Amino acid sequence: MRILCIGDVVSQEGIDFLCEKLPRLKRQYQPDAVIVNGENSARGNGIDEYAYEQIISAGADVVTGGNHSFQKKTAGALHEEKKRLIRPANMPDNMAGRGELILDFCRFRLRVINLSGSLCMSECINPFEYVQKLLETDTDAVTVVDFHAEATSEKQALGYFLDGRVSLVYGTHTHVQTNDARILPKGTGYMTDIGMTGVRDSVIGKAIECCVHNFRFPDQRMQISDAKGSCILCGVFAQIDEKSKKCTDISPVFVDN
């Protein structure tokens, strides 16, 4: 099984670049499934119906989320309506939507689980204990985990915790691609953060001037705006053995203008 995962799509600029580049990437990698993180795809932050539909139209099979999943007022209804849109499973129980999705490809099934980290993030249920319970069911599916987390230590710890129990664990949220795509000792593919899809010369997809100003003068904050300019697309590509469910190959994906 071949899986292509694309990192946080940021704003309309990121969506436009995804729409431009993903068809070629699908021809290149021939993935069975494409997973795209879209929690920053609407203007400002969050996700709305327009952004979701563009990501799906670009070629995504599943759209994952994170701490900004419910930033837009329409997000609750959107997560209930759109079956290929998921948010972190370990969000509080009263949140709308679902935290996992199973795709049936006849000869195999793909289970995508979205989790949120517990360090420097919004309130959530302990991701380790939550995913432990999730994995007690549906053990026959090839399982991929998008771990939307801030701390690299927490991401690495979850990777080793799930090693041999899922096929692929990758991190999102920091928007900075890490240079550590590898197969863990028990056969799970892993990458700490797969990066973002958005404006290259930016501060994680936002305009440089306002971000620098806010760090220099925290008492005189400017409104943060989306960056403009040339974009990058970041992600990870993994091949999974459908019988053993172990990762046999993993490599970063990086597309520049």
Taking alpha carbons only, the member of 36, 11, 4, 69 closest to residue 198 is: 11
Q: What angle do CA 92, 43, 237 make, to 5 degrees?
A: 70
Which pairs count as long-range contacts for 171-175, CB under 8 Å and 24+ apart, including other chains? 171/147, 172/7, 172/8, 172/37, 172/64, 172/66, 172/146, 172/147, 172/148, 173/8, 173/66, 173/67, 173/117, 173/121, 173/148, 173/149, 174/150, 174/204, 175/7, 175/8, 175/10, 175/204, 175/205
Q: Who's near 81: CB < 8 A, 6+ residues apart?
A: none
C-alpha 28/C-alpha 19 separation (Å) is 15
Q: Helix, strand, or coil here: 20?
A: helix
Residue 237 CA, chain-centre distance (Å), reads: 13
Distance CA 119, CA 200 (A): 27
Annotated active-site positions, please?
68
